[in-house]
Amino acid sequence: MKELLATIDAWGDSAATAGRAVVVRTFGSAPRPEGAVLLATADGRIAGSVSGGCVEGAAAEQIARARQTGHSRVIRYGISDEEAWDVGLACGGTIDVLAQPQIPDAALEAARVSSRVGGHGAAVITPLPPDSPPPEFGEHPPGDGAPPEPALTLDDDGLHGTLGDASLDDELTNAAREALRRGQSRTVELGGRSLFVEAFPVRPRLVIVGATEMARALASIAGTLGYERIVVDARPAFAAQERFPDVERLINDWPDDAFNAIDLGPNDAVAVLSHDAKFDEPAIAEALRRGARYVGAVGSRKTQGDRRARLREAGVGEDDLARLRGPIGLDLGGRAPSETALSIMAEIVADRYGGSGRPMIEKARAAAPV
């Protein structure tokens, strides 16, 4: 949803007629993950994708049907589904798509709030229609679905709404918080109901210590990926607007003061690029102490060894030192600042999603049946 906000705003009055299709379950090699969205208006405008292109037309037709009936419905497209072959889902996967007559207000608001600088994350929980398909491939539910039920939401203040059972509410709260932590939407089964938990995590933040040439390249790549970027350097000539024209914030201060000013915490990634011990080591120690989820620092093997010894002497524990990524980045082989920046950003993304950093072909070979 977040990537479609600009489109929704550009549609103007047409957006009021837009319905939504959203992937709520995937099986096998599905082309898009849970939470992928397609929008379609009454005047024929379409944006987004639920399948990478192969079932978009069929999904748009289901949105039109939902708009006519006022009912939501879950439709299954899969390898053993004749209709899926007709529309081209030949990737070997199966998807369940929820067609809704309108864009839910709760989802739209959560997308906007979580996209803002300084915003907060939220999860929107949608009860799926009771005629949603069972887990057998290729089956479609009968009828026209059911009127949309009110969504529940979860944010920093807790769960808003109830399933009518305190223990189920606790389970739902835990599931929604886990979805937000991972940044991945999912469907959960609770109390005999299917509930789609749509995650709108807070915009990820990258804090770059040291306004170097590598930092400029890293800020550019991170911006493309939707990160909020903060560059910290006590030297005004380096952390200057003309050198970093589009970052969200430049701070001319020492790292510990800068971290206090931005309230650095577990949602943040920190890349220390300054090559200067008087900047690097206080920044590393403070970022680790505050629990930043990624902390990496440039430097050779010898530099890293000497740095770790000094950090131990400064009181940084072994568990924290084990979290330090140094040398920083994945081994891509490149040496230019932009190539090193790409390797750093690749490691940050892999760390965020629990990726291995292995080539996908190796992963596919390991998963292939013997």
128: DSSP letter:
P
Tokens at 99, concatenated? 């067609």
Contact by Cβ (8 Å): 45, 16: no
Mean pLDDT across the chain:
88
Cβ neighbours, 10 Å, residue 49: 18
Q: pLDDT tens for residues 32-84?
A: 899 999 999 999 999 999 987 778 899 999 999 999 999 999 999 875 445 44
**Which region among 78-87, 108-117, 210-219 has the lowest average model confidence (pLDDT)?**
78-87
**Which region among 47-51, 95-99, 143-147, 200-204 has the lowest average model confidence (pLDDT)?**
143-147
Give the range with max mean pLDDT: 22-31, 117-126, 343-352.
343-352
Contact by Cβ (8 Å): 262, 249: yes
- CATH architecture for residues 205-353: 3-Layer(aba) Sandwich (3.40)
The pTM of this model reads 0.73
Confidence of residue 262 (pLDDT cuts 50, 70, 90): very high
Contact by Cβ (8 Å): 99, 62: yes
| Residue range 242-259: mean pLDDT, rounded | 95
What angle in degrees, to the nearest 10, is found between the helix axes of 277-289 and 255-262? 30
Contact by Cβ (8 Å): 118, 90: no
Residue type, 11: W
Q: pLDDT tens for residues 326-340?
A: 999 999 999 899 999
Confidence of residue 134 (pLDDT cuts 50, 70, 90): very low
Cβ neighbours, 10 Å, residue 38: 25
146: DSSP letter:
B
Dihedral sign (CA 355, 357, 359, 363): negative
**Which region among 50-54, 71-75, 105-109, 130-134 has the lowest average model confidence (pLDDT)?**
130-134
Confidence of residue 120 (pLDDT cuts 50, 70, 90): confident
Q: Which of 85, 52, 54, 65 is nearest to 20 (CA)?
A: 65
Q: pLDDT tens for residues 223-250?
A: 999 899 999 999 999 999 999 999 999 9
For residue 137, count CB atoms less than 10 angstroms from its CB and return exposed for 0-12, middle for 13-18, buried for 19 or more. middle
Going edge to edge, which strands form the sheet with 73-77?
A: 46-48, 37-40, 19-27, 94-100, 73-77
Domain with CATH 3.40.50.720 in the chain: 205-353
**Which helix H or strand E contains 114, and what residues bound it?**
helix 105-115
